[in-house]
Amino acid sequence: MLKLYTYWRSTAAYRVRIALNLKGLSYESVPIHLVKDGGEQHQPEYKALNPQGLVPALVTEGGEVINQSMAIMEYLESSYPDIAILPADHIGQAKARAMAQMIVSDIHPLNNLRVLQMLKKSWNQTQVDLWYAHWIHEGFSALETMLEGSTYSFMNEMYPCISDICLVAQIYNANRFKVPLGEFPRLLAINERCLQLPAFKTARPEAQLGEIDG
């Protein structure tokens, strides 16, 4: 069975949980608490598995370890192709990957836990919040424009794809930090439709019972 090292509120782990659920794959969830005791991701036992000391990490059925959410989702797509999380055509795949990377590579790294923790050493909370909101709005503004008339998002397709997975997880994160998102109706519409699906509902951070203790 697949084994996922995860944290309930991790945006990256949330992406992978959605992908696993969409593909109907059973997996064992192993919680790694990113805050308790200084962060369990820094413990030698976990770093022996994932030297980067981040979540998620996936252990395949063959015992191989894959880190980084995009790499994990690409592995799942190629290894379990019956239910796809990428469009069928090459242009569609490229566009979906591009939008996913805009979130995963350009928005999330500037706003993740370790960056915010570092900023708090020199900045007050208001400054940190402004930093967070700036990068959300810059990235989401571009995505909102790109989605006008697009056929590469769940808004216009019958089934969600990798860019939708990344978007839903990032919107959750933005809502957690109380960033106003009213100027992004297309993104919010996609998010709302995705969250009606069981695969997204059961992947939500609040649904990870037993992990939610801080």
The per-residue pLDDT for range 22-65, each reduced to its tens digit, is 999 999 999 998 888 778 888 989 999 999 999 999 999 999 99
The per-residue pLDDT for range 194-204, each reduced to its tens digit, is 999 999 999 99
Map out the domains of the chain as residue ranges. Answer: 2-83, 90-199
- Amino acid at the residue 114: R
So what's the architecture of 90-199 in CATH?
Answer: Up-down Bundle (1.20)
The backbone region for 42, taken as left when phi is positive above 0, alpha when psi lies in -120 to 50, beta otherwise, is alpha
The tokens for 167 are 């978007």
Whole-prediction pTM: 0.92
Whole-angstrom Cα distance, residue 191 to residue 160?
10
Whole-angstrom Cα distance, residue 23 to residue 160?
11
pLDDT for the residue numbered 93: 93
Same fold, 2-83 and 90-199: no
pLDDT for the residue numbered 37: 74
The per-residue pLDDT for range 59-104, each reduced to its tens digit, is 999 999 999 999 999 999 999 999 999 998 999 999 999 999 999 9
Whole-angstrom Cα distance, residue 69 to residue 14?
9
Whole-angstrom Cα distance, residue 108 to residue 120?
17
Segments in 80-207 forming alpha helices (H): 90-101, 108-111, 113-119, 125-146, 162-176, 185-194, 198-201
> 20 with 2: CB under 8 angstroms?
yes
Among 210, 205, 213, 168, smallest CA distance to 55 is for 205
- Give CA angle at 199 (193, 202), nearest 5°: 105
- CATH value of 2-83 in 3.40.50.300, 3.40.47.10, 3.40.30.10, 3.90.1530.10: 3.40.30.10
pLDDT for the residue numbered 211: 65
Among 72, 75, 77, smallest CA distance to 87 is for 77
- Amino acid at the residue 167: L
